[in-house]
Structure 1
Amino acid sequence: MATSYFQDGVSSPGANGGASVMSPSSPASVPLPRSNALQNRITSVLSALYADLEIRDALSILDDQGLQNTAEARRNLRLDVQQELIECNGGIVQDFGKVADQLKRIGAAIQNLNNSCAEIRRHVSAANRETGPMLDDARTILNDKRQVETKQQLLDAFKAHFVVSDADLATLTSTAEAVNDDFFRVLLRVKKIHQDSQVLLGSENQRLGLEILEQSSKHLNAAFQKLYRWVQREFKTLDLENPQISTAIRRALRVLAERPNLFQNCLDFFAEAREDILSKNFYAALTGAPVDHDHPVMGKAIELSAHDPLRYVSDMLAWAHSATVSEREALEVLFISEGDEIAKSIQTGIESEPWSRTEEQDTLVVFDGRKALSQLVDRNLAGVFRQLRQRTEQVIQSHEDAILAYKISNLVLFYGTIFANLLGEHSSLLETLRPLADTAMRSFRSITRDHVANLQASLTISPDDLAPPDFLVEALDTLQVLMKSYDTSIVTSDRTQRITGFQPVMQEALDPFLAGCENITNRLRDPSNHIFALNCLLTTKENLRRYAFADRTTDLQPRIEEHEGELTKAMHAWFLRQSGLDTLVENVARVEDLGSSYKDPNQLASIAQQLDAFLPTATEDARTFLGQLEDRTLARRVIEQGAEQFCEDFEEIEGLIVQADEMRAAQINGEVEEEVFLRDVFPRTGDEIRVLLS
């Protein structure tokens, strides 16, 4: 449209039907100002930026009007636009007139509302003036009501916390009421009241706190007295053998521990009752007579089934050990199963009642439940151990048997170790039990010494066969029994302690008999004394080697070697004497000592004949010489050593003879035709001797 408009403006003829104003051939010329204005106009139009939004909007509006690009339309365009604008403004004025009418009506309504509000304010002000005093009174009353309600709530809370009902007081203090969960519940509440009442002492109203504190203390004292009497009644009928011990009694003891004095009194009463019951049970186990018909004796009576005194003592100790274990386990369930609650309760009671402390409690820092348990077990079993000690002492005194006394001592020591592990080293029961071992050992020493005294006559008589005497054999047999008893009863694994522990027994049961053998040895001649000593020492050594704690090889071996050396010397002397070589050994030490034998070789020939007669049976004769030595290995070794020494002596004599013949041959130098040489008279050589004596 814009393009066509400019094209029409340029190419269309003028109003007078003339040619185009731009045509150069037009004869009529246009005045110059008009031509410049048109060019400026065209230039302005052509230089306009049609991408401008305003131009684009204007062109869009023209398109919407549906106008044709005619001269009339162009002339009337401004008028049409203005006309349309006037019409739009008129419509707007009409619309605003309607709005003005509506605003007038709204203003009238608002005025009416303002009038109504003013009227209402006047009525409200009048009402406020009339009801003001009543509202003030109502606020005062409501405030008083809230204060009363708060005080009532405080009173209800105070009564609920600090006041105990009559029914709860009856449950807590009346002996007709049972000690059950309700009792402990009320007791816990009263203890809480007693504790919280101390807070009231710091408030303004101390009198109330004092009254509640006094009242709660009285209720607590009555409750603990009731609990104390109930526990005592329960202890009378309490059956510790029943594994299902009532939880109520355990709880009662834990609570009663807060009153240490009452708790200790209950323990004393319980200990006396248990001591009486256990003493009766022990007597029933011994005799078979039941304490009552409800508790018959299981099995045979100890006095009827144990005919052996050692078995009798062992059964009594076994019963006491079983009773101790059962008692401790039952008391652990009764006193220790609640953990450290009893200890904590006792500590709490001591701290809450400082005026009731004793000197011992003043120094007590922590209550030891285990130690207290052991002490209670000691007290409960004191009667049993007194009876046990009396009957064991009767057995020891009525039997003059050293082995029995020693076995009883070992048995008591063995059980003493078990009880020490069970109850502790400082248990009072051990103070009753351990003296029994000392009594048995004194009896053992006394009986052993009496036996040694009775054997004094036998200690000087040597047996014909040089075998260990009967008293030594008997002593070693007895010692075997003692060593076996010691080995089965000792519990320590320390070798030094085991050896040290058995030494006193060795000193009593062996050393006197070895001393008797030594006396007999001193009265015998060689070589019988050495054979007898070796028989005794070797027998003793072999018997003692069976148990490491009794082995005396270190002490006996030097003595054995000493006697063996002496016996070897005797064997050597026997070889020399039987072979006749002793004459040569004693008299010939140099070559010159053989000079006389050349003049009279008969003596040397006689010795050679005796040697030849001796050698074939020398070994058998030597065995016969040592026939009473019981250790054949030792006898063979002694013969070999004696024969070796004999061969060395022979070789020494042989060497002297050879030297003498050589010297003799050099002296005569063949001048004497029938000269006798000693080698011809004494032809045996050392090698032949060794072969014959091997």
Structure 2
Amino acid sequence: MATSYFGERVASPVVDNGSAILSPTTPNSSAAPRSNALQNRITGVLSASYADLEIRDALSVLDERNIQNTADARRNLRLDVQQELIECNGEIVQDFGKVAEQLKRIGTAIANLNDSCAEMRKHIGAASRETGPMLDEAKTILADRRQVEKKQQVLNAFKAHFVVSDVEVASLTSTAEPVNDDFFRILTRVKKIHEDSQILLGSENQRLGLEILEQSSRQLNAAFQKLSRWVQREFKSLDLENPQISASIRRALRVLAERPTLFQNCLDFFAEAREHIMSNNFYAALTGAPVDADHPVLGKAIELSAHDPLRYISDMLAWAHSATVSEREALEALFISEGDEIAKSIQAGIESEPWSRADQAEATPAFDGRQALNELVDRDLAGVFRQLRQRTEQVIQSHEDATLAYKIANLVTFYCTIFANLLGEQSALLEDLKPLSDTALRSFRSVMRDQVINLHSDLALSPDSLSPPDFLVEALGMLTVLMKSYDTSVVTSNRSQRIEGFQPILQEALDPFLAGCENITKRLRAPDNHILALNCLLTTRDTLRQYAFADRNAELQTRIEEHRKELTEAVHTWFLHESGLGTLVDNITTIEDLASSYKDPTQLVAIAQQLDGFLPTATEDARAFLGQLQDRMLARRIIEHAAESFCEDFEEVEGLIVQGDEARAAQMNGGVEEEVWLRDVFPRTGEEIRVLLS
């Protein structure tokens, strides 16, 4: 339509600035206003935006009506539009009339509804006035119902937590019911009730709390009494040698420990039963007769070795040690396998039973499970060790053998150390063992003193061979046995302690015999006394050197050195006497003492001849002189030292002779040639003497 509407118009030319280009034929003067109006109109049309919705809608309407762009159409367009507008407005008015009629009918309906609502309000008000008290009563009833339901829930929860059924009470306290998992479960619940009932004492329900506390206390006491009797019955038939000990026993002991008094009663009952069983087992092991057919005795009876006292006692101690180890392991599995649960239970029980303490002013020490276990083992084996002590004392008293007594003492001491490591130093079993060691040592000392007393007859005789007396040889033989026994029985590695521990034995088993040998030497002459003393001391030293803890080398070496010096001096004196040089050594100290020899050299010649006869066999004769000294190396050293002293004496005499000849020659000043020279009479030199005596 836009195209048809504007198609018949001639487009006016437009300049670049948008203004219309007037025709050159148009007169400027008369047509100016019209031209301007037209130009403004064209400008307005051209300036209109075809993107405007109103213009687009208007153009769309014109297209729909198929209006031709003619003069009549353009003149009638406004009229046609206004006519259509009037017709539309009339239709609208008619429609609004219909709406008004409907609104009147709606208003009438609303008025009727309002009247009905008012009437209903009257009826509701009357009903409300009549039902108000009933509603208030219903609200009260509902509130009471909610409160009752809440109390019912509290009551049910209270009954579920604090009330124990008759069946559970019977299972907990009746001896006819077994001690099983249900028992422990119910016991745990009652203990919880007992603890929680104490909370009620701090609330408003103190009476209820007291009643529940009293009832739960009675139930707990009855339950623990039942558990205590059950444990005692189980202890009667309990086989500790069975490695699979019932777990229920361990659980029962752990629970029963919460009542220290009942727990201790059970332990006392158990200890008495085990002591009786262990005593019977020990007697069966001794005699070989089994206690019952189900437990035969393995191995030979210990009393079959009674002819060998040491083995007999050793077998008894070994059995006691084996039984102690087995008993401790079994009790450890029974009482400590659950860790420190029993200790915790006992500690809790002590705290809950303050009246069971011996002295409330003192702090209760913490329960030591290991110490309690050791004490229980002590009680279980007390009967065994009493029998062992009696039999060992009988053996000691019936044998007067110092070596046997000392071996028994060492054996008992060795086992005392083992038991101390196993059960502790405070073990009651050591009170039975340690006196045995003391008894054996007293017997050993008594026998040794009797032997020393019997030596008086032997001290009056001295051996012709100057060898150690028989009593010393026997004493050293016995001492060797004692040292071997001590070495195998003492477990300490401290050297000073080992030496100190053996000194009393040396004082009893060695010193009296050495003193007897010394008394014998005092009645002998030199060099026999020194030879005998050296033989005794050297034999003793060699015997003691076998064991470091018995070595008295420092003490003995001093005495040996003293006798060695005396014997060396005796050999030296023998050299001087046998060679004849002793006369010269004793009588010649200066050259003036040689004056008489120049006048009469006969004596000097005789001494020189005696010396020449002595020197070739001097060493062999000296060995024969010390032939009874058993240590040949020591004899050789003594001869060497004596020969050295002899050579020094000879050199002094030789020097005096040389000096005398020189002084004599100076006095004569080349005199008579027949003058006697001592050097010619006594020609030996010191070098020759050393060579001959080497």
Normalised to the residue count of structure 1, the TM-score between the two structures is 0.87
8 Å CA contact retained: 2:191, 2:220? yes
Structure 2: distance between partners of 1:568 and 1:372: 70
- C-alpha RMSD over aligned residues: 3.8
Structure 1: distance between partners of 2:146 and 2:429: 73
Q: 1:35 to 1:493 in 2, by over 3 A?
A: same
Query: Structure 1 stretch 115-124 or stretch 647-656: which is displaced more?
Result: 115-124
**For residues 112-127 of structure 1, what are the structure 2 equivalents within 5 Å?**
119=116, 122=121
Q: Partner residue of 1:504?
A: 504
Look up the SS of the partner of 1:457 in the other structure. helix
Q: 1:222 to 1:678 in 2, by over 3 A?
A: same
Q: 1:89 to 1:511 in 2, by over 3 A?
A: farther
Q: Partner residue of 1:357?
A: 357
Note the C-alpha offset of 1:85.
11
> Which amino acid counterpart does residue 234 of structure 2 have in structure 1?
E
Task: For residues 17-57 of structure 1, give each alpha carbon's deviation from its aligned partner in whole angstroms, at most 9, with x where no partner exists.
Answer: xxx7475xx79553697599699979x99xx9x9xx96876
**For residues 316-465 of structure 1, what are the structure 2 equivalents within 5 Å?**
316-359=316-359, 363-465=363-465
Note the C-alpha offset of 1:590.
1.4
Q: Partner residue of 1:536?
A: 536
Query: Structure 1 stretch 425-434 or stretch 336-345: which is displaced more?
Result: 336-345
Structure 1: distance between partners of 2:342 and 2:78: 113
> Which amino acid counterpart does residue 543 of structure 1 have in structure 2?
T
Note the C-alpha offset of 1:522.
1.2
Query: Structure 1 stretch 289-298 or stretch 407-416: which is displaced more?
Result: 289-298
Look up the SS of the partner of 1:30 in the other structure. coil
Give the fraction of aligned pairs with identical amino acids, expressed as a percent.
68
> Which amino acid counterpart does residue 351 of structure 1 have in structure 2?
E
- Tell me, yes or no, if structure 1 residue 282 matches structure 2 residue 282: yes
Note the C-alpha offset of 1:225.
1.8
**For residues 78-227 of structure 1, what are the structure 2 equivalents within 5 Å?**
119=116, 122=121, 128=128, 131-227=131-227
Note the C-alpha offset of 1:665.
2.1
Q: 1:124 to 1:658 in 2, by over 3 A?
A: same
Structure 2: distance between partners of 1:458 and 1:352: 77
Q: 1:439 to 1:27 in 2, by over 3 A?
A: closer
> Which amino acid counterpart does residue 419 of structure 1 have in structure 2?
F
Query: Structure 1 stretch 507-516 or stretch 535-544: which is displaced more?
Result: 535-544
Q: 1:486 to 1:37 in 2, by over 3 A?
A: same
Structure 2: distance between partners of 1:444 and 1:403: 7
Task: For residues 106-147 of structure 1, give each alpha carbon's deviation from its aligned partner in whole angstroms, at most 9, with x where no partner exists.
Answer: 997799589658846647656655554444343333223222
What number of residue pairs does the alignment pair up?
679
Note the C-alpha offset of 1:571.
1.6
8 Å CA contact retained: 2:357, 2:364? no
Q: Partner residue of 2:553?
A: 553
Look up the SS of the partner of 1:338 in the other structure. coil
Q: 1:294 to 1:102 in 2, by over 3 A?
A: farther
Structure 2: distance between partners of 1:678 and 1:86: 202
Query: Structure 1 stretch 624-633 or stretch 87-96: which is displaced more?
Result: 87-96
Query: Structure 1 stretch 108-117 or stretch 573-582: which is displaced more?
Result: 108-117
Structure 1: distance between partners of 2:246 and 2:677: 117
Q: Partner residue of 1:259?
A: 259
Query: Structure 1 stretch 205-214 or stretch 105-114: which is displaced more?
Result: 105-114
Q: Partner residue of 2:516?
A: 516
Query: Structure 1 stretch 106-115 or stretch 378-387: which is displaced more?
Result: 106-115
Look up the SS of the partner of 2:565 in the other structure. helix
Note the C-alpha offset of 1:578.
1.5
Structure 2: distance between partners of 1:200 and 1:168: 23
> Which amino acid counterpart does residue 277 of structure 1 have in structure 2?
I
> Which amino acid counterpart does residue 554 of structure 1 have in structure 2?
A
Q: 1:690 to 1:59 in 2, by over 3 A?
A: farther
Look up the SS of the partner of 2:577 in the other structure. helix
8 Å CA contact retained: 1:10, 1:22? no
Structure 2: distance between partners of 1:673 and 1:148: 166
Q: 1:466 to 1:134 in 2, by over 3 A?
A: same
8 Å CA contact retained: 2:50, 2:56? no
> Which amino acid counterpart does residue 239 of structure 2 have in structure 1?
D
Structure 1: distance between partners of 2:660 and 2:89: 185
Note the C-alpha offset of 1:555.
0.8
Q: Partner residue of 1:16?
A: none
Structure 2: distance between partners of 1:312 and 1:489: 17
Which residue, 1, 12, 16 being the options, matches 1:9?
Answer: 12
Structure 1: distance between partners of 2:458 and 2:525: 19
Note the C-alpha offset of 1:301.
0.8
Structure 1: distance between partners of 2:348 and 2:486: 50
Note the C-alpha offset of 1:633.
1.1
Gaps of 5+ in 2: 16-20, 64-68
Structure 2: distance between partners of 1:371 and 1:456: 55
8 Å CA contact retained: 1:460, 1:516? no
Structure 2: distance between partners of 1:473 and 1:117: 149
Q: Partner residue of 2:18?
A: none
8 Å CA contact retained: 1:657, 1:678? yes
> Which amino acid counterpart does residue 340 of structure 1 have in structure 2?
D
Q: Partner residue of 1:605?
A: 605
Look up the SS of the partner of 2:12 in the other structure. helix
8 Å CA contact retained: 2:354, 2:360? no
Structure 1: distance between partners of 2:361 and 2:159: 38
Structure 2: distance between partners of 1:103 and 1:624: 177
8 Å CA contact retained: 1:535, 1:629? yes
8 Å CA contact retained: 2:483, 2:547? yes
- Tell me, yes or no, if structure 1 residue 493 matches structure 2 residue 493: yes
Structure 2: distance between partners of 1:101 and 1:616: 185
8 Å CA contact retained: 2:340, 2:369? yes
Q: Partner residue of 1:30?
A: 29
8 Å CA contact retained: 1:460, 1:519? no
Q: 1:540 to 1:75 in 2, by over 3 A?
A: farther
8 Å CA contact retained: 1:287, 1:303? yes
Q: 1:636 to 1:211 in 2, by over 3 A?
A: same
Query: Structure 1 stretch 402-411 or stretch 180-189: which is displaced more?
Result: 180-189
**For residues 565-644 of structure 1, what are the structure 2 equivalents within 5 Å?**
565-644=565-644
Task: For residues 216-247 of structure 1, give each alpha carbon's deviation from its aligned partner in whole angstroms, at most 9, with x where no partner exists.
Answer: 22222222222222122122222211111212
Note the C-alpha offset of 1:357.
3.4
8 Å CA contact retained: 2:537, 2:560? yes
Q: 1:577 to 1:28 in 2, by over 3 A?
A: same
> Which amino acid counterpart does residue 515 of structure 2 have in structure 1?
A
Note the C-alpha offset of 1:409.
0.6
Q: Partner residue of 2:308?
A: 308
8 Å CA contact retained: 2:579, 2:611? yes
8 Å CA contact retained: 1:282, 1:384? yes
Structure 2: distance between partners of 1:678 and 1:107: 196
Q: 1:232 to 1:676 in 2, by over 3 A?
A: same
Look up the SS of the partner of 2:187 in the other structure. helix
> Which amino acid counterpart does residue 308 of structure 2 have in structure 1?
D
Task: For residues 636-668 of structure 1, give each alpha carbon's deviation from its aligned partner in whole angstroms, at most 9, with x where no partner exists.
Answer: 111111111111111222222222222222222
8 Å CA contact retained: 2:654, 2:685? yes
Structure 1: distance between partners of 2:679 and 2:85: 186
Q: 1:678 to 1:378 in 2, by over 3 A?
A: same
Look up the SS of the partner of 1:339 in the other structure. coil
Look up the SS of the partner of 1:9 in the other structure. coil
Q: 1:260 to 1:89 in 2, by over 3 A?
A: farther
Q: 1:34 to 1:268 in 2, by over 3 A?
A: same
**For residues 463-478 of structure 1, what are the structure 2 equivalents within 5 Å?**
463-478=463-478
> Which amino acid counterpart does residue 442 of structure 2 have in structure 1?
R
Task: For residues 511-536 of structure 1, give each alpha carbon's deviation from its aligned partner in whole angstroms, at most 9, with x where no partner exists.
Answer: 00000111111111111111111111
Normalised to the residue count of structure 2, the TM-score between the two structures is 0.87
Query: Structure 1 stretch 211-220 or stretch 473-482: which is displaced more?
Result: 211-220
Task: For residues 69-117 of structure 1, give each alpha carbon's deviation from its aligned partner in whole angstroms, at most 9, with x where no partner exists.
Answer: xxx9999999989999998999899899989988997997799589658
Q: 1:87 to 1:558 in 2, by over 3 A?
A: farther
